Amino acid sequence: QVQLVQSGSELKKPGASVKVSCKASGYTFTSYAMNWVRQAPGQGLEWMGWINTNTGNPTYAQGFTGRFVFSLDTSVSTAYLQISSLKAEDTAVYYCARVVYSSSSGWFDPWGQGTLVTVSS
């Protein structure tokens, strides 16, 4: 079955970096773009952007430029989110989600289980 499995929780100090992985299985990885979504504690969902799994070209949403980097390793069907210069406000659960397109419409299905990144000194 189609599945996205993310790496485990991370506890980092302010100023450090973190790399979250999202391993896809059950489908051709390069046939579907991958998106990233952030959810701060007790808050709603926030779209971070997406990466073209064919070309590796990333697109970042407003507010997620500079410290956030999307990357791929297509040999292992895995997408990555790296966040540098971590701040306390980066504490959140980060989700990857495959986007499915049909007739000019797109939707996220499935989602990864989420990775909690906690930034604390």
Partner 1 sequence: QSVLTQPPSASGTPGQRVTISCSGSSSNIGSNTVNWYQQLPGTAPKLLIYSNNQRPSGVPDRFSGSKSGTSASLAISGLQSEDEADYYCAAWDDSLNGLVFGTGTKVTVL
Q: Near partner 1 by CB under 8 A, which window of 19-27, 40-48, 67-75, 78-86?
A: 40-48
Show the binding pattern over residues 58-77: x = contacts partner 1 (CB under 8 A), - = does not. ---xx---------------
Could you say whether residue 113 binds partner 1 (CB under 8 A)? yes
Q: What is the 3-state secondary structure (H, E, C) of the chain?
A: CCEEEECCCEEECCCCCEEEEEEEECCCHHHCCEEEEEECCCCCCEEEEEECCCCCCEEECCCCCCCEEEEEEHHHCEEEEEECCCCHHHCEEEEEEEEEEECCEEEEEEECCCEEEEECC
Shortest Cβ distance from residue 105 to partner 1 (Å)?
A: 4
Which residues of the shown chain bind partner 1 in the complex (CB under 8 A)?
A: 35, 37, 44-47, 49, 61-62, 95, 97, 100, 102-114
